[in-house]
Chains A and B, each alone.
Chain A
Amino acid sequence: MITLTVNGSPQQLDARISLAQLLENMQLSGKRVAVERNGEIVPRSQYAQVKLQDGDQLEIVVAVGGG
């Protein structure tokens, strides 16, 4: 069991999965998002390679209406 913080909320996973899998679980595959992991931007091309670790802090963002 590992615990991540995703957008400020704790998330528990049974096993270490890739960032791509997490995004799929969140129904965000193929959506235009950007991800910061522990303060560093994760390029989209690396989502499949990045294995999430216990304690990871993730920010997953989208573009929304704003001024």
Chain B
Amino acid sequence: MHTLTIAGKTYSSRLLVGTGKYKDFDETKQAVDASGAQIVTVAIRRTNLGQDASQPSLLDALPPSKYTYLPNTAGCYTAEDAIRTLRLARELLDGHTLVKLEVLGDPKTLFPNVVETLRAAEVLVKDGFQVMVYTSDDPIIAKQLEEIGCVAVMPLASLIGSGMGILNPWNLQIIMEHAQVPIIVDAGVGTASDATIAMELGCDAVLMNTAIAQAQNPVLMASAMKKAVQAGREAYLAGRMPKKIYTASPSSPTGGVIGT
């Protein structure tokens, strides 16, 4: 009931976090641990020529033995670049196949290019990858990605890094009603209540980075997000009371009031 299953593997946390935009690896690790996340996204980038190779790496701070890595294709604008990036990631992480596919369409909005995303997903699934895919909140595209064989579909709540929250809960609801794979809200969460709303809608999990990393106190916000996701999940399972507009209903007995 409380666990999340992705590609046959079970996770107790329904919060997935990114590892970008932190001050240093120490803060990254503290925030990840405070969030309780078991799945962490990472980016794949060229080694800088001339960089100090003796510096610690992200893999030292967050050992892959302790966290499930989700290498992403952030920054890729074509299916080909995304596929190459994830093949490199698979080699880098010793054959690891669980990946986050995102193919962007525009550097200003970082909106996904769903045509390229669909193309990349087909190739990657055939190549044996377990693809968790970032996409727009279009229910038709979400279903097509599932049919291709993606193991989780991750629609945006709003633009990456915008902190604008859940802008179209109705679309998310349509996506979830038709989905047979986990639906994970990815991108747009700004604060704890946004994560709770996503979970109350019935999303299986939430993935975020900026909302934690760019908070004034990232570690405290990570802790808040952990609770927000748990609260939203429990509220979803509990089933909220119906909204009754203009129909007040006292919580205390109507009879036996003194002086009547």
Contact = CB atoms under 8 A, between A and B. Distances in A.
Interface of A: 6-9, 26-28, 31-36, 39, 41-44, 59-67
B49 A7 contact: yes
Interface stretch (B52-60, B169-177, B248-256): B52-60
Contacts of B22: 65
Contacts of B20: 64-67
B221 to A, nearest CB: 14
A56 B216 CA distance: 46
For chain B, give the interface size range.
35 or more
Interface of B: 18-22, 25, 28, 41-49, 53-54, 57-59, 69, 71-72, 74, 84-85, 87-93, 160-161, 208-210
- Interface of B (DSSP majority class): mixed
A59 B43 CA distance: 15
B90 to A, nearest CB: 8
Identify the interface centre among A59, A60, A62: most chain B CB within 10 Å of its CB: A62
B91 A63 contact: no
Contact of A61 (B21, B54, B88): B88
